[in-house]
Chains A and B, each alone.
Chain A
Amino acid sequence: MTWEVVIGLETHTQLSTRSKIFSGASTAFGAAPNTQASAVDLALPGVLPVLNREAVACAIKFGLAVGATIAPRSIFARKNYFYPDLPKGYQISQYELPVVAGGGLKIRVGENEKFIHLTRAHLEEDAGKSLHEGFTDVSGIDLNRAGTPLLEIVTEPDMRSAAEAVAYAKALHTLVVWLGICDGNMQEGSFRCDANVSVRRKGDEKLGTRCEIKNVNSFRFLERAIEYEIRRQIELIEDGGTVVQETRLYDADRDETRSMRSKEDAMDYRYFPDPDLLPLMISEEWIANIRKEMPELPDAKQARFQSEYSLSAYDAATLTASKAVADYYERVLAKFRSEPKLAANWVTGDLSAALNRHELEIGASPVSAAALAGLLKRIADGTLSGKMAKDVFDAMWNGEGDADAIIDQRGLKQMSDSGAIEAIVDQVLAANPKSVEEFRAGKEKAFNALVGQVMKASQGKANPAQVNEVLKRKLAAGT
């Protein structure tokens, strides 16, 4: 029996606003409990919500980036349920008329590209947190997070494997961070995925019963949780059982999903339009203004990098994997425009390797874009050989100064004195009559051997281009 897996993702992205979606409390992470819970967040009697313009702007940006429709009129609704981390007894969300509808994202798994359709994206408020550690019979409620703006992004059930789901989640993560609407910090819960997973026999039209998996806070866990859930459902059906529609929690320690008891209640959320909040009207003008300020999107940037800088598709893709990397690269080019490929090699090569080694984001690189450009200039103008450049880069990484300072300090300047080079060439030719003979007999390889000898004799400092030129001249002259 072969099975088809059907996955849809719901992602809660915390929007990078200073204040909450409906109150003037700070959204900063990590404050002492309940110090960022305002009267509105606490749902004191009599308080009222007022919508944060920036949260709406974030939703518009996202909608434009995924080619969705921005609703000219959308409605906030109340989702009613009791939970200690939900102070009002309802969550303000959007139900029938969300702010963003449609659109989608291109993902790549291996060689295959696929378009994942979005159903919708809607604005809502986050809940607080229930803390259990250190308590026995009670839980502690911290409402600092209550009211943090979320954009819930919902896909169609378009994904067919855990790998596709992860690729989508990563692409979405890149995009929201790229747009600057979410900090993307998964550890702090800024980007949370719930996966709706079902299986059906290949060829079946009807979707199987789905389970929703919550509490997945890394891409790795997302993959493992989905894979576990797929196995569980298939085994269940193959053993003659049936999948029950339910919410399941992923337990990373045990690498399994389990039914959430708190959600056992058949939920009846009693959605209705929030009478405290009038229809959200978004004008064409507002959308046009945001469109003007939209950053260049990953796909467009990749295409431009290929055409403008003559980069390969691979290089362009690597450089546009994040906006920070792409921006860094273009800041390098701002100071060093002559060889974009050389710059690409260094950013995706040595710089990237060093960042990985030290587990640093490119924003925290000790070698700035300007500094790297300084190094690349010395490579391009022949001052440094490739090998020397790597040493200089390491020194720059360790904070020993800019490229020129390090070159001076270490006397690393490439030997370009033609007299000195000629003297070494003469020595090498005299010492290697066999190679000279072979070259004259037409063996090109012998030339390379001679170059190698000259470089060795100069301790790597001789300018390779100059060595070539002098060697060719002298061999041709027959001396």
Chain B
Amino acid sequence: MHQDTLAGLARRLAAREFSSVELTRALLDRAQSLGKTLNAYITLDEERSLAQAAAADARIARGEASPLTGIPIAHKDLFCADGWRTTCGSKMLANWISPYDAHVISRFNDIGAVLLGKANMDEFAMGSSNENSHFGPVRNPWEVSRVPGGSSGGSAAIVAARLAPAATGTDTGGSIRQPAAFTGVSGLRPTYGRVSRYGMVAFASSLDQGGPLARTAEDLALMLNVMAGFDPRDSTSVDRPAEDFSARLNAPLEGLRIGLPKEYFSAALSQDVATAILAAIEAYKKLGATVVEVSLPNQHLCVPAYYVLAPAEASSNLARYDGVRYGHRASEYSDLLDMYKKSRAEGLGAEVKRRILVGTYVLSHGYYDAYYLQAQKVRRLIANDFKAAFAQCDVIMGPVAPSVAFPLGSKTTDPVQMYLEDLYTISVNLAGLPGMSIPCGFGAAGMPVGLQIIGPWFEEARMLNVAHRFQQVTDWHSKVPPGVDA
């Protein structure tokens, strides 16, 4: 069962080939074996998952099923789920049981999907390798000595290793697309405002967006149909008419104008990745697309702007972890100030603290204008670059990451080297655009390469169509990691 895609499983569940309980049981068993090897999950709760599966089976029997009823889904461990431990990969919340459901979780509950488990992640979604989790690093199913990418590394590994047909993730600077690329799965970061952030623990509020990881574009569309939608509890949620993201998957690509930003194909991009990307572009030409060169002249400022804005927001968003109402409190302290400082120092990991310090600094008196405000202005320039580019093309394509998945520990000593991993993904977040990664080949050490597809605001349906057509003529997305029984 586990080999099948989300769409396939949905069809077979509806046809009563097997029950949701059987499917859930099988996937829980895989989570206990291969899942443990990869350290993909932080929390499993078999009893709860199986109860949901039984309820889904009853619903299917009553004929009240929708496409994802009874499908087990893994959720990144920053989506709050009532009664579930929700840790954000942090010691700070290692024992925190959420008393409420995130909007995304409610949407899955409403259609009778099964919460299979909470996926490992970089602490508070800060990281590009999933090495920043309090619960240990996640391993790449293609090669366990390599990272799966981050911060949605658990989600990506789960989908790649066929531990679940799909998973949720969040993408603040590339945290869905980069791990999708590193593990050979498909991932979509929707337009900012498309998926409610309510109950999705914040890293950087103006950049965070939840989205799905799955094996195919078709599956991503099914997931997005559940996740997207207006939520009055999120002031930045965009109120748009409901869309069926599956409807236009098969539309022809004749006349599609693909923009290739010249800035993307520079010395920073490793040759193996470039080769795979350019081969994918050739495949698109065969599908009827035309290619135009576009320019994103401020591309080189993305990483600097991001590493001012995201830490600034994070420093404030993470101030609530003070050991007063929930979360870790130091066991010994002399007074209130000492309690704050020790609780936070003990409860938060090195990378999170580093970003809090950076963010605190850029917002502090005397530095705000030079750093924070300037970064916001540069952010506008970057968004404007995309507006101009989309006047010339329908989608932009390029690499997701400068190289394939790297070995664990190889970039942990120099934060800046790690930050440069996000070189090609960050601009999407700054501009609030939708972006995808789909498998498009293999590079060094036989590791997967992802093709990034960037669309104009709210053009997810078109992007999914573009991705789906590619997956109809290629089979990169159905390659199975060597250690994973197909």
Q: B173-181, B199-207, B240-248, B274-282: which one contacts chain A?
A: B199-207
Given the complex, which residues of B lie within 8 Å of A272, measured CB to CB? 312, 316, 363, 368, 372
CA–CA, A89 and B321, complex, Å:
8
CB distance from B39 to the nearest CB of A (A): 22
CA–CA, A278 and B204, complex, Å:
15
CB atoms of B316 and A49 under 8 A apart: no
Tell me if A353 is interfacial: C-beta within 8 Å of chain B.
no
6 CB contacts below 8 A, A to B, read: A48-B198, A87-B324, A87-B325, A143-B325, A268-B364, A270-B364
CB atoms of B316 and A270 under 8 A apart: yes
Q: How large is the interface on B (under 10, 10 to 19, 20 to 34, 35 or more residues)?
A: 35 or more
Q: Which residue of B lies closest to A40 (CB)?
A: B233
Q: Which residue of B lies closest to A34 (CB)?
A: B325
Tell me if B106 is interfacial: C-beta within 8 Å of chain A.
no
CB atoms of A80 and B202 under 8 A apart: no
Contact partner of B316 among A44, A78, A268, CB < 8 A? A78
Contact partner of B199 among A42, A46, A50, A87, CB < 8 A? A46
Q: B11-19, B95-103, B391-399: which one contacts chain A?
A: B95-103
CA–CA, A47 and B199, complex, Å:
5
CB atoms of B316 and A82 under 8 A apart: no
Given the complex, which residues of A lie within 8 Å of B360, measured CB to CB? 270
CB atoms of A48 and B233 under 8 A apart: yes
Tell me if B197 is interfacial: C-beta within 8 Å of chain A.
yes
CA–CA, A349 and B42, complex, Å:
76
The interface residues of chain B, by DSSP majority, are classed as loop
CB distance from B139 to the nearest CB of A (A): 27
Tell me if B216 is interfacial: C-beta within 8 Å of chain A.
no
Considering only residues 39-61 of chain A, those with a C-beta below 8 Å from chain B are 39, 42-51
Tell me if A276 is interfacial: C-beta within 8 Å of chain B.
yes
Contact partner of A46 among B200, B316, B365, CB < 8 A? B200
CB atoms of B372 and A45 under 8 A apart: no
Contact string against B for A residues 121-140, beta-carbon threshold 8 Å, 1 for contact and 0 otherwise? 00000000000000000000
Tell me if B236 is interfacial: C-beta within 8 Å of chain A.
yes
Tell me if A301 is interfacial: C-beta within 8 Å of chain B.
no
* 19 further contact pairs, Cβ within 8 A, besides A48-B235, A272-B316, A276-B236: A39-B99, A45-B80, A45-B320, A45-B326, A50-B232, A80-B315, A80-B319, A89-B319, A90-B316, A90-B319, A143-B325, A271-B363, A272-B312, A272-B372, A275-B205, A275-B206, A276-B205, A278-B235, A278-B236
Which of A39, A49, A143, A271 has the most B CB atoms < 10 Å from its CB? A39
Given the complex, which residues of B lie within 8 Å of A268, measured CB to CB? 364-365
CB atoms of A39 and B100 under 8 A apart: yes
CB atoms of B199 and A88 under 8 A apart: no
Contact string against B for A residues 86-106, beta-carbon threshold 8 Å, 1 for contact and 0 otherwise? 011110000000000000000
CB atoms of A46 and B202 under 8 A apart: yes
Q: Which residue of B lies closest to A89 (CB)?
A: B319
Q: Which residue of A lies closest to B208 (CB)?
A: A275
CB distance from A103 to the nearest CB of B (A): 28
Tell me if A430 is interfacial: C-beta within 8 Å of chain B.
no
Tell me if A297 is interfacial: C-beta within 8 Å of chain B.
no
Contact string against B for A residues 240-273, beta-carbon threshold 8 Å, 1 for contact and 0 otherwise? 0000000000000000000000000000101110
Contact partner of B198 among A47, A80, A88, CB < 8 A? A47
Q: Which 9 pairs from chain A and chain B are nearest by CB?
A: A89-B319, A275-B206, A270-B363, A275-B205, A43-B320, A46-B199, A45-B201, A46-B201, A46-B80
Given the complex, which residues of A lie within 8 Å of B368, measured CB to CB? 270-272
Tell me if A141 is interfacial: C-beta within 8 Å of chain B.
yes
